[in-house]
Structure 1
């Protein structure tokens, strides 16, 4: 099983991964909604770190951008 390496940059400051609670607060939705998104394949991409769900902030922002509705 091969792994795809993410580009590394010494100038790139990494932000801590977002917890489901962080995502819920940021999006203004209940925590259960975030878990529902994760279990049904909606919402931002989540990754498992050990037993915990985490999200990259870039993935959260990208998902929010994809949800933008233009009138």
Structure 2
């Protein structure tokens, strides 16, 4: 198996150019990237961060996740 390194919340937030607090809130409320629980810690896989980012790529502000226009 190919296991990749798990990123800390601070490292993941840096990659996404957001605050660690935003990631923390998303982990509590939902809507953020998938994470792995290691004991009481949240860790992030780079592949999950990239997939989450790709799923939010739009051509313009009215794009929907399926690629259509609202």
Q: Taking structure 2 as the reference length, what is the TM-score of the superposition?
A: 0.76
Distance 1:45 1:15 in 2: 15
Q: CA RMSD in A?
A: 1.2
Secondary structure of 1:54's match? strand
How many residues are treated as equivalent by the alignment? 60
Tell me, yes or no, if structure 1 residue 38 matches structure 2 residue 27.
Answer: yes
Structure whose residues are more often strand by fraction: 2
Matches within 5 A, 1:1-71: 8=1, 12=2, 14-71=3-60
Unaligned 5+ segments in structure 2 are 61-70
Distance 2:59 2:32 in 1: 19
Q: Taking structure 1 as the reference length, what is the TM-score of the superposition?
A: 0.75
Unaligned 5+ segments in structure 1 are 1-7
Distance 2:50 2:39 in 1: 23
